Amino acid sequence: MQLEIAALSKPGGRAVNEDACGVWSSPEVCFCVLSDGAGGHGGGDVASKLVVSRVLNWFRQNPQCTADAVETALIAANQAVMESQLSDARLSDMRATVVVLAVDTVRGIAIWGHLGDTRLYCFRDRRIIVQTRDHSVVQNMVDAGYIKQSELRGVPQRGRLLAAMGDEVHFRPCVAKGQFELKPGDVFLLCTDGCWEYVEEDEMEQSLSESKSGEDWLRQIEAKVLSLGKKSQDNYSALAVWCSAPEQSAQA
């Protein structure tokens, strides 16, 4: 499987961008990570960068596309955040969300995991077939039937999380069960809440159908965010991963 990856990360209306993202790949595997930090005194950007670096460092040493590998990488990153909290009192409250996508480009399979409300979407034939579930109070309200999924974005305190990196007690990352078999044309979107808050799922599908590349798609998504965002809007970040069949080598 051949991958095309595009990235977007902007501070929005904030002075500091507390989002972080990163990609590491080899000829056989590719790992994408996106994290949204939170915490006073600069802790948010420290937490998100630490999560991304530790996850990718773990995969560099253990380039495995399995559910166990994804979970173990997240455990290592969570431990790193907690150790950093203890090293500096100003960072004691820092937290971060995370989403990880692991792709075995040889076998054509993917695994993902997440914690918090940074999301992963998978599109097939330009339609969403996978959407991760937020670890948030509002998502629990949706699951309990108090509000509709379509109303989630407009609920006050939508960003109140039930779990995040840097919290030992509530550290329960969700990792996809089994291996996801990829098809040429599949597309993944990893995005922070500052991004998906302003772009409805049907708008993601529509803009994807009108896009010729990952970069083009992210430009359309950003335009939507900027058209609806406020002056004090949150940081917004996204990674687009387009899957295609490998180029056929010329035969003699």
What's the average model confidence in pLDDT over 168-178? 91
Read off the pLDDT band of 107 (50, 70, 90): very high
- Quote the CA–CA distance of 191 and 7 in Å, as a whole number: 10
Give the SS3 label for residue 244.
strand
Please report how the helices 214-228 and 201-209 are oriented relative to each other, as an axis angle in degrees rounded to 10.
140
If you average pLDDT over every residue of the chain, what do you get?
Answer: 94
pTM (2 d.p.): 0.95
- Quote the CA–CA distance of 82 and 62 in Å, as a whole number: 22
What's the average model confidence in pLDDT over 98-125? 98
- Quote the CA–CA distance of 158 and 154 in Å, as a whole number: 7
- Quote the CA–CA distance of 53 and 234 in Å, as a whole number: 22
CB 81 within 8 A of CB 96: yes
What's the average model confidence in pLDDT over 86-109? 95
- 215 in a domain, yes or no? yes
- 249 in a domain, yes or no? no
Q: The tokens of 242 are what?
A: 């387009």
| Domain, as residue range, for 200 | 2-244
DSSP 184: T
- 7 in a domain, yes or no? yes
Residue with tokens 């979107």, as numbered in its chain: 189
Would you say residue 217 has pLDDT above 90? yes
- 10 in a domain, yes or no? yes
| pLDDT > 90 fraction of the chain, expressed in percent and rounded | 86
Dihedral pair phi/psi, residue 142, rounded to 5°: -65, -50
| pLDDT > 70 fraction of the chain, expressed in percent and rounded | 97
Residue with tokens 């005194």, as numbered in its chain: 41
Residue-level pLDDT at 244: 95
- Quote the CA–CA distance of 220 and 206 in Å, as a whole number: 10
Would you say residue 74 has pLDDT above 50? yes
- 34 in a domain, yes or no? yes
- 164 in a domain, yes or no? yes
- 27 in a domain, yes or no? yes
**Number of compact structural domains in the chain:** 1
On the CB side of 107, how many CA atoms lie within 13 Å of its CA? 13
Torsion of CA 39, 15, 100, 102, to 10 degrees: -150
- 252 in a domain, yes or no? no
Residue-level pLDDT at 249: 33
CATH of the domain at 104: 3.60.40.10
- Quote the CA–CA distance of 211 and 44 in Å, as a whole number: 33
